[in-house]
Structure 1
Amino acid sequence: MLSALDNWADAVSDSAMPSAAKPKSFAEQGRVALSVRLPALLHRRMRAIALERGERVNDLYQSALARFVADRLPDEPFLRGPPTSATQITLWLEPSFHRQLKAELDRREQFASNVVLTTVLEEYGADLQLTDAVR
Structure 2
Amino acid sequence: MYFYIKSQTIKCLVFVFIIQMILIGAENIWAQSDYNTVSPEQILTTIESKGRGFVEAGEFRFRLKESTELTDFRGNIVSLYELPIPVEAIIVYQVMPHSDPCALKIILQREITRVPQPE
Q: Structures share a fold, TM > 0.5?
A: no
Q: Rg: which structure is higher?
A: 2
Higher relative strand content: 2
Using structure 1 for the length normalisation, give the TM-score.
0.26
Structure with higher RCO (Cα < 8 A, 6+ apart): 1
Using structure 2 for the length normalisation, give the TM-score.
0.28
